[in-house]
A and B are shown apart, each in its own frame.
Chain A
């Protein structure tokens, strides 16, 4: 605890800078236990890396410069949030592109189905066969109860 206080005193960073160091540390991967950011890993190397982040913040470096420092030494793998540039754009762009493509396909299918529904009655009217008519009557009877009265009226008119 005293050592930690001494360390933070030596670095002399403000609470805002400490919060920024934590935000940066949350995005940097522990090189040894690679599933954790350096803010959560208890490995000595992660502790020292986080101290290095604080030191660079105290020296006035920007976030981009600090990220560039670590990627120059550990590679892009050290970033838990890959930058949106270069080949990483393919990684970032694929999900929205797939979503847009899926939406386009779905819209196309629905539009085709709607056109088929609209064109079917017109085509069926001149070619009214008994089997088709009975099926249509059955469908109407099942879907719309009010259609029964029309059906009965038709029957009476025929008789």
Chain B
């Protein structure tokens, strides 16, 4: 007696295509995530759009500078150190920027030393590049931590209302500097 059982019903088309579609979508998502550049690599950051943290620090020349006293003026705040090579590359830009603005009016350029162990090196740096704007001591890196500084150079662009509109890390060039200046309403170099 021959008893042939009927062939099993073929699976629906969608059921057979489901595993390959899931695998393809996973690979697509993974590829897109890996290939897209990190958003906060050189610009942006959690503090952009927030009020700038207040500070009152003493400069190398002995004068005290507080962010509150600069209210109403756009501020370019630069964390730097003499041992930092990209800081040497961007120093001429800050010199030109501060020279273009007359003292006491318009844009304020402020430098903050970051883990500067030898102050004399900072003074030599300032003399070498003829920097006229104040550079402030940040003992124990309180202000750097308050600004979320993880490395230098890091530059914050603060508008007239005291809000951080842009942050740049890793070394500025003229184009990147102008991007920050435009965001705080200052004409670029």
Contacts and interface: CB of A to CB of B under 8 A. Distances in A.
Interface string A87-99: 0000000000000
Given A72-B47, A75-B40, A44 B141 contact: yes
Contacts of B148: 31, 72-75
Contacts of A75: 40, 45-46, 148
Contacts of B1: 127, 129
A34 B150 CA distance: 10
Interface string B100-137: 00000000000000010000000000000000000000
Interface string A112-149: 00000000000000010100000000000000000000
A45 B144 contact: yes
B42 interface: no
Please report whether the interface of chain A is mostly helix, strand, loop or mixed according to DSSP. helix
Q: Is the interface of B mostly helix, strand, loop or mixed?
A: loop
A48 interface: yes
Nearest to B44: A75
B83 interface: no
A101 B178 CA distance: 53
B46 A48 contact: no
A32 interface: yes
A18 interface: no
Nearest to A51: B140
Contacts of A129: 1
B166 to A, nearest CB: 16
B27 to A, nearest CB: 17
B145 to A, nearest CB: 6
B66 interface: no
B3 interface: yes
Interface residues of A, number: 15
Given A45-B115, A49-B145, A52-B145, A74 B140 contact: no
A52 B140 CA distance: 9
B151 interface: yes
A45 B145 contact: yes
Given A74-B148, A75-B46, A48 B3 contact: no
B89 interface: no
Interface string A28-52: 0001100000000000110011011
A71 interface: yes
B146 interface: yes
A48 B141 contact: yes
A44 B147 contact: no
Interface of B: 1, 3, 40, 45-47, 50, 115, 140-142, 144-151
Query: Which 7 A/B pairs are nearest by Cβ-Cβ distance?
Result: A73-B148, A31-B150, A48-B141, A74-B148, A75-B46, A44-B115, A48-B140
27 contacts: A31-B149, A31-B151, A32-B151, A44-B115, A44-B141, A45-B141, A45-B145, A45-B150, A48-B140, A48-B141, A48-B142, A48-B144, A49-B145, A71-B46, A72-B47, A72-B50, A73-B46, A73-B47, A73-B145, A74-B46, A74-B148, A75-B40, A75-B46, A75-B148, A127-B1, A127-B3, A129-B1
